[in-house]
A and B are shown apart, each in its own frame.
Chain A
Amino acid sequence: MRELLLSAGYDHWILTVLLVVPVLGALVVWIGASALESGGGTDAAGTPPGTAAAARFARWVALLTFVAEFVLSVGLWWSFDPSIDGWQSLISVPWITTWRVNYTLGVDGIAVVLILLTTLLMPLTVMGSWTSVREKVPTFYALMLILTTGMIGVFVSLDLFLFYVMWEVMLVPMYFIIGIWGGERRIYASIKFFIYTMIGSFLMLVAILYVGFHVGGTAAGQAPDFSYPDLLARLRVTPIAARWLFGAFFLAFAIKVPMFPFHTWLPDAHVEAPTAGSVILAGIMLKMGTFGFLRFAAPLFPSAALDPGIRAIILGLAVTGVLYGALVALVQPDFKKLVAYSSVSHLGFVMLGIFAFTQQSVQGAILVMLNHGISTGALFLLIGMIYERTHTRQISDYGGIARVVPLFSTLLTFVALSSIGLPGTNGFVGEFLVLIGSFRTVPYHAMLATVGVIFAAAYLLWAIQRILFNSLDKPRNAALRDLNWRELALMAPLVACIIWLGVYPAPILRRTDHAAAAFVQEVEHGSGTQRPSSRVAYAPGARP
């Protein structure tokens, strides 16, 4: 398979195609929908028939585009060679020549896994929004498509300037998705989300400009250098500067993760966002933060990342997040908020794994990122399905519905168990690796985080008991309809992934092996003079 793909030049064009296809899809949605909308008049009921046609058109185009995107990205799974170091599918074209900004794309194992997670979740969110998004439908799907380009762009950019552009591209559509299609307090939530994120990313921009000019030089005739492999090889800053720069990146990424205490935008954003927004936020966008630590913050400034004080703070916040998120989740009356706080807890595991700097903990962290995307994405999709029927997210409005909606209940229980980290499901493998790896370097942090595993069982089991079990004492719930075929179909891939990753995660582990090793190596040895990493150079022949 790999040979076949490579003979078609797959690794030269695939990343660009992955960025372009959603934009094209958005254009088609936009143009086609406006043509359809202007085509029809108004019928007796007052709804223009063109609007319904445009909505149907937009849904199908979005779905097909995302399916195509997924199929294309699956090729990466095979074309990616897990046995070699360095970047793959590399492409580099000059973009802004005066500033020596290049359009440089490339992937490592971590990026491949996260790209696949993105392209898997996107078509499912379209299916999940099929009947629940009823207003301004074409705009909604066009924004979703643009958003995808931004997200994939973040994962594949190997030029810091380009990375920053993608980082911001991602932000705007999500702002609109929450602000237009959200719940009652959507304006508050979307502005909070936007400003919170912007504060972090502006500081990151300053840091990016600093390192670019620092490496490239500021004298006349010299241009900055934003190429990530170059920076990795040549960036030398004083420990003090490293700390400030690391701090700027830290703030941007920590808000995105979100780490305690930068998390308060998350519950509001999750609760107010439409289902698709919540799924994308939790499933993919939170991973941008942890991805940023893995890709940029720690490898670029290893002296800061290894600084005992800084590391103590980050590990402390990570473990605090694990326990705090779980305990606060325990007492949430709103199911979506409960899952939002549980994300704080899960992402705490990821941060612990990354900053424990062992092979097991880092690979475990990557797996938790993936698993959290699948399990929490599935949870939000299920909540969205039941919300569509009842228009309430309050746990106390349910109870005993397992009798009425057995399919929904079976799926919710199953997904909750994977989120709890039951062995045999995906949740266990990631957490286990994070903890067993972290235990080698930071045993007390790992022990405290293990306590979080107990709390996870408590808050989710208590919640599903109050929703699914006990007596069916709310008469309106007796009329609930079970999941339909569309909803079952969209859950099927997630259920399959939960079992597959729980039983046989080796293919993922194989693909992230070299990237994780390189990360640990870069951080542990990078503070010296010699950068031993294999990732400082471009792959042979790809250098422009």
Chain B
Amino acid sequence: MLFQTAAAVAGGAAPHPLSGTAADWVWALPLLPLLGFVLNGALAIFGSAKAGPADPSAGSHDGPDAAHGVPGGNGQDDGAHADAAHAVPSQRHPYAWLVSVIGPLVVIAAFALACMICVAMIAAQPTTPFIQRYFSWMPVGDLSIDAAFQLDQLSMVIVLVITGVGALIHIFSVGYMRDDPGYPRYFSYLNLFVFFMLVLVLGANLPVTFVGWEGVGLCSYLLIGFWFSDRANADAGKKAFIANRVGDFGFMIAMFLLFANIGTLQYTEIAAAAPAALPAGGALVTTVCLFLLLGCTGKSAQIPLYVWLPDAMAGPTPVSALIHAATMVTAGVYLVVRTSMLFSIAPAASLTVCVIGAVTALFAATIGLKQWDIKKVLAYSTISQLGFMFVAVGAGAYVAGIFHLVTHAFFKALLFLGAGSVIYAMHAAYHETHSHEDAQDMRNMGGLRTAMPVTWILMWIATLAIAGVPLFAGFFSKDEILGTVFARAQGSALSDASWLGIPGGALLYGVYGICLVAAFLTAVYMTRLMLYTFHGPNRTGDAEHSLLREAPAVMTLPLVVLGVLSAAGGFLNDPSFLPIAPADMLGRWLEPVVGPATQQITRGGPAEADPRLSAILATVASVVALAGILVALLRLKPAALRPAREPQPAESKVESLLSHKYYVDEAYDRAIVTPTVVFSRNILWRGVDGLIDGLVNLTALISRWLGDSGSAAQTGETGTYAWALVLGVVIVLGTVALRI
């Protein structure tokens, strides 16, 4: 028997309600994209690589003419624009058609399976996780780590997001990446990403989650640097990987601490053992949570490790949509919810999550105000929205955090894909005229609504959603976050705790205030993006203007689906004061997973603010959002913009600070990167290593000198030997004589 379905209940007498249903196929969820990876990877390799000659050293003197015979395979020369994939349409990969089938199909199949499992889960209403154990991964002494998956309501929601949004983005990519010579390689990485993301979410213990955790980081690295011939892209990929590694350090230490103290890394066992083994509010559980949080700040691009995400926009735009907006970057939020049994008994750590989220939300939103690259705006927007999610899960509003994760996946994926189709159109136009203008700079856009009406409307839907305009998806989730934070400030385990001497209640009110400001700025910078891109006069260029047109249907259809979800997704968790849909569906769905932790935070009280207060707070939030849009509409003048190639008006000091992202990258470079390299090279390598080696060689030198002096004495002259003999005899006799 390949699979042993272990009931989470001790003893395992009664079978889990999900066994015997579609949930038995949970193992196939990640296996499908893995299969896609293998097939597409094989096509990538066999389609473009050719084995070398038997004697490699013989072939190296063929001269440069041999270079022209080498198939281009990966990458291409034109790296002038970040998304310059379409520069060489003649190099379309020979197996592109097959890849177009395999790549999306495996993810669609996984989505279909996920839907079937979800239906089974709705019917079964399990109260415990469904755990499937495959084999023993690391059985060492009292450490036992299984390769096992865990399916519960939380992982179900995220699996649906990953496979659903993932499938749409795969379909979009068929159009977007069509002419790229690395087409199969692209899809194999994308499939691999979905595989690792599913492993991350389905893992039944921290190490299996960690496999997915680092695996998605790998795919992110590979896809950011997809057009690796441009050094900036390769740099960005490396930066992402290393920043994530810093976070992973925290993840690992947290695992070590947990194993050393409670002897298990499996989620269900941690949940069972934590209350007894880890005193609530104690230093140990707080330390564990803070190390976990370090891991989360890396993956979810929060302060202080957010710096990699804006650079990650160097990857193809669908990648930005899938990995750097909808799924991977939300893994930190997922992990906090997954380990909520720990965070809920560590109020100081939870408040830290809250503060980091709030500060990041505001900080990134301000930077978003002054970016010109359309993808950079969206990148900072993502960081900011992730900050909102951190605020939620930090305040113990686990449902609200997951809710915003889901709606954000809809509208941010839509925004990125919309930006993708804008860039696609811009790039095609510039390509036609052989221009080297920047296809992502909003100063080169303007007035695109006439050329791309579908994208225009859909992106406005997403903008209204992210700004939090009532009845769009983001309104519900952001409102729930704000409302719950306010409720927690009024009275909860968190408001009674203190954080660095600040009372938790006051701190949470402060967080609420910061979030309101961030929400206002969100509305401003998103409206700015829409105005500069789609409204006002066109600045693309006279020749190019007429060449701008809407993307093909394979790209716009996924956008339409996401548009519907962005508009209506909020009804997943309809608040009770607005009786349109069944109230609080997501909250009730997640209750078995996050219920105990929420109870711990609220001390048994209601999970959310009372309806009256909620309604008031929602009104406040809506006014803030609309005010932001209005301010942007009134203050910003798209007509006054000049194309990027023309001289720009001088920036004020604040503007310059914002457009340079507060110089954080420069500071990190000066404070960490350069000193490390200089220290390693000059002190460690040239200094310490040189010293040790010098000492070693000095010893050798002395030995040689001694030997040389010895052999120099062997002159071969009889006279010298005779004198030496006499001297020796005298010394020996003298010594003997004196002794006597």
Taking Cβ atoms with an 8 Å cutoff, the residues of A that contact B are: 131-132, 192, 195-196, 261, 264-265, 324, 327-328, 330-332, 358-360, 363-364, 385, 388-390, 400, 402-407, 409-410, 417, 422-424, 428-429, 432-433, 435-437, 439-440, 443, 446-447, 450-451, 453-454, 457-458, 461-462, 465, 468-472, 475-476, 478-488, 503-506, 509-510, 513, 517
The secondary-structure label for the interface of chain A is helix
A132 to B54, CA, bound (A): 12
Q: Check: B709 CB closer than 8 A to any chain A CB.
A: no
Taken residue by residue from 206 to 223, chain B's Cβ proximity to chain A (1 for < 8 Å, 0 otherwise) reads as 010011011100100100
Q: When the two chains form their complex, are residues A436 and B255 in contact, meaning their CB atoms are under 8 A apart?
A: yes
The secondary-structure label for the interface of chain B is helix
Q: Check: B235 CB closer than 8 A to any chain A CB.
A: yes
Q: Contacts A131-B57, A264-B692 given: A435-B252 contact, CB under 8 Å?
A: yes
Taken residue by residue from 240 to 268, chain B's Cβ proximity to chain A (1 for < 8 Å, 0 otherwise) reads as 01100110110011011101100000000
Q: When the two chains form their complex, are residues B64 and A454 in contact, meaning their CB atoms are under 8 A apart?
A: no
Q: When the two chains form their complex, are residues B60 and A389 in contact, meaning their CB atoms are under 8 A apart?
A: yes
Q: When the two chains form their complex, are residues B56 and A484 in contact, meaning their CB atoms are under 8 A apart?
A: yes
Q: When the two chains form their complex, are residues A481 and B256 in contact, meaning their CB atoms are under 8 A apart?
A: no
A70 to B218, CA, bound (A): 34
Which of A327, A429, A504 contacts B680, CB < 8 Å? A327
Q: A residues within 8 A CB of B67?
A: 404, 475, 478-479
Q: B residues within 8 A CB of A503?
A: 137, 147
Q: When the two chains form their complex, are residues A363 and B140 in contact, meaning their CB atoms are under 8 A apart?
A: yes
Q: B residues within 8 A CB of A265?
A: 696
From B43-51, B106-114, B576-584, give the one contacting chain A: B43-51
Residue of B nearest to A470 (CB): B231
| Inter-chain contact total with CB atoms closer than 8 Å | 217
Q: A residues within 8 A CB of B211?
A: 423-424
Residue of A nearest to B227 (CB): A469
Q: Contacts A447-B253, A470-B229, A482-B52 given: A331-B64 contact, CB under 8 Å?
A: no
From B72-80, B467-475, B643-651, give the one contacting chain A: B72-80
Which of B45, B62, B238, B677 contacts A465, CB < 8 Å? B238
Q: When the two chains form their complex, are residues A469 and B684 in contact, meaning their CB atoms are under 8 A apart?
A: no
17 A–B contact pairs at CB < 8 A?
A324-B688, A332-B685, A360-B143, A364-B140, A403-B75, A405-B52, A423-B214, A424-B211, A433-B140, A453-B252, A479-B63, A481-B59, A482-B52, A483-B56, A484-B54, A504-B137, A506-B137
Q: When the two chains form their complex, are residues B48 and A264 in contact, meaning their CB atoms are under 8 A apart?
A: no
Q: When the two chains form their complex, are residues B66 and A479 in contact, meaning their CB atoms are under 8 A apart?
A: yes
Which of B60, B135, B139, B231 contacts A480, CB < 8 Å? B60
Which of B229, B246, B680 contacts A400, CB < 8 Å? B229
Q: Check: B141 CB closer than 8 A to any chain A CB.
A: yes
Q: B residues within 8 A CB of A331?
A: 677, 680-681, 685
Taken residue by residue from 18 to 53, chain B's Cβ proximity to chain A (1 for < 8 Å, 0 otherwise) reads as 000000000000000000000000000100111111
Q: When the two chains form their complex, are residues B684 and A324 in contact, meaning their CB atoms are under 8 A apart?
A: yes
Q: B residues within 8 A CB of A487?
A: 52, 56
Q: When the two chains form their complex, are residues A450 and B229 in contact, meaning their CB atoms are under 8 A apart?
A: no
Which of A451, A458, A462, A481 contacts B56, CB < 8 Å? A481
3 cross-chain pairs, A with B, having the tightest CB-CB distances, nearest first: A359-B141, A478-B67, A481-B52
Q: A residues within 8 A CB of B688?
A: 324
Q: A residues within 8 A CB of B681?
A: 331
Q: Contacts A328-B689, A457-B241, A465-B235 given: A506-B228 contact, CB under 8 Å?
A: no
A296 to B492, CA, bound (A): 59
Q: Check: B669 CB closer than 8 A to any chain A CB.
A: no
Residue of B nearest to A486 (CB): B54
Q: When the two chains form their complex, are residues A407 and B51 in contact, meaning their CB atoms are under 8 A apart?
A: yes
Q: Contacts A479-B62, A484-B51 given: A439-B56 contact, CB under 8 Å?
A: no
Q: B residues within 8 A CB of A423?
A: 207, 210-211, 213-215
A486 to B52, CA, bound (A): 10
Q: A residues within 8 A CB of B218?
A: 417, 422
Q: Check: B55 CB closer than 8 A to any chain A CB.
A: yes
Q: Contacts A328-B680, A481-B59, A509-B138 given: A406-B49 contact, CB under 8 Å?
A: yes
A39 to B426, CA, bound (A): 74
Q: B residues within 8 A CB of A402?
A: 74-75, 228
Q: A residues within 8 A CB of B231?
A: 469-471
Q: Contacts A404-B67, A471-B79, A484-B52 given: A436-B230 contact, CB under 8 Å?
A: no
Q: Check: B693 CB closer than 8 A to any chain A CB.
A: yes
Q: Check: B676 CB closer than 8 A to any chain A CB.
A: yes
Q: B residues within 8 A CB of A261?
A: 692
Residue of B nearest to A268 (CB): B693
Q: A residues within 8 A CB of B248?
A: 453-454
Which of B214, B234, B259 contacts A470, CB < 8 Å? B234
Q: A residues within 8 A CB of B253?
A: 447, 450
Q: A residues within 8 A CB of B74?
A: 402-403, 406, 409
Q: B residues within 8 A CB of A324?
A: 684, 688
Which of A363, A390, A451 contacts B249, CB < 8 Å? A451
Residue of A nearest to B61 (CB): A479
Q: What is the distance, in angstroms, from A436's C-beta to the closest C-beta of chain B?
A: 5
A419 to B70, CA, bound (A): 30
A487 to B49, CA, bound (A): 14
A478 to B685, CA, bound (A): 33
Q: Check: B136 CB closer than 8 A to any chain A CB.
A: yes
Q: What is the distance, in angstroms, from A481's C-beta to the closest C-beta of chain B?
A: 4
Residue of A nearest to B252 (CB): A450
Q: B residues within 8 A CB of A132?
A: 57
Q: A residues within 8 A CB of B52?
A: 405, 481-484, 487
Q: When the two chains form their complex, are residues A195 and B680 in contact, meaning their CB atoms are under 8 A apart?
A: no
Q: B residues within 8 A CB of A481?
A: 52-53, 56, 59-60, 66
A481 to B51, CA, bound (A): 8
Q: B residues within 8 A CB of A440?
A: 259-260
A410 to B46, CA, bound (A): 12
Residue of B nearest to A331 (CB): B681
Q: When the two chains form their complex, are residues A471 and B230 in contact, meaning their CB atoms are under 8 A apart?
A: yes
Which of A330, A363, A424, A450 contacts B676, CB < 8 Å? A330
A440 to B481, CA, bound (A): 39
A407 to B42, CA, bound (A): 11
Q: B residues within 8 A CB of A510?
A: 139
Q: What is the distance, in angstroms, from B49's C-beta to the closest C-beta of chain A?
A: 5
Q: When the two chains form their complex, are residues B245 and A457 in contact, meaning their CB atoms are under 8 A apart?
A: yes
Q: Check: B97 CB closer than 8 A to any chain A CB.
A: no
Q: Contacts A406-B73, A447-B253, A469-B234 given: A454-B245 contact, CB under 8 Å?
A: yes
